Amino acid sequence: MSGGVDSSVAALLLKQQGAAIVGAYMKNWINEDNVVGDCPWQRDIEDARAVCDRLGIEFRVVNLMRDYRERVVAYLLDGYARGLTPNPDIMCNREIKFGVFRAWAKENGFGAVATGHYAQRLEVTPGAYALHEGADPNKDQSYFLALLSQTQLADARFPIGHLAKPALRQLAREAGLPTAEKKDSQGICFIGEVKMADFLRAYVPDAPGPIVRASDGHTLGEHHGLHFYTLGQRRGIRIPSNTDHAAYVVVGKRASDRALLVAFDHPDAPGLFQREVRVHSLSWIGEPIATPRAIEGRVRYRDPRVPLEFLPERGGTARITFPTPQRGLASGQILAFYDGPRLLGGGVYA
């Protein structure tokens, strides 16, 4: 339980179904290094405890700070330091919620871990499960579960996956839950309202370099570090656009001189759109795809599913081709694979 309304209603529904449940807050981060931003872990614990009191269930706080730092924060900082664009939310789900927290739950006698994700778990054959998108297309969070395994999914429960957000808030109001009107968190997974740039500024040293126009090699300015930028980014470059052109957009990073490559934001901007990519670290919920196959993919959260051709390669990688070029596919981010609304798995852009 995060202290938000989604996990609160997940607990409410399980209680109404007669399940024997305990509410648990994962303490992953307490802003001990005074990172700029709001890290309201104490308030979130109080809210989660108040919901449990309202539901008449036990509440526990589980300290996973060391595991979170080792498995999520280290991955995040290392990725950005190497010029990648990591996804801490996806890694938090695989390594923490359904990793060390799931292990803790099983060691303490629990049979499953339920969360407030907008996703739907279906039993396709006895003991085998599929993961489908949440019923609310505006809130679907299946993308963030793209690296889960079948074993992890077997121990997962998503009680609110069939609900739309307005209906969920109405259930919270009717039950008198103290989180019914609480705003959704927009921060890093279980850290809070911390902007990524502020988080990186606190832990990754500045590494200045030139901002270079990709079309002609002209230097336009200087940046404080490539880790503050990702492919396709338009805001925060701080280079004024020519009145006759669109704004600048990031189209690449050059490690040799730490150059940030930019171009005017047009469909023909060099490097901005890609028709072919490679992915590695493939993860499958069910059977791996071993032969070329036409499926769908979500190239990033909030983007619609798009058709693609999946071509497996030796060494656990795959070549992906898109009929329609895709914008800003950044190395280190996650491509989620789908068969219609069914999530198949995911991979990491090379």
Q: For residue 111, what are the contacts with CB-CB under 8 A and spacing of at least 6?
A: 155
User: 144: closest CA among 124, 158, 155?
Assistant: 158
| Residue numbers annotated as active site | 92, 189
| Rounded CA separation 246/52 (Å) | 52
Instruction: Give me the helices (H) in 204-338, please.
Output: none
| Rounded CA separation 271/248 (Å) | 13
Which residue carries 């901005």 as its tokens? Answer: 272
Residue/partner pairs of 260-268 with CB below 8 Å, 24 or more apart:
260/209, 260/210, 260/211, 260/212, 260/223, 260/226, 260/229, 261/212, 261/213, 261/214, 262/211, 262/212, 262/213, 262/214, 262/220, 262/237, 263/213, 263/214, 263/215, 265/234
| Rounded CA separation 54/179 (Å) | 11
Both structure tokens of 134: 């949440």
3-class DSSP state of 22: coil
Q: How many beta carbons lie within 10 A of that of residue 171, not counting itself? A: 19
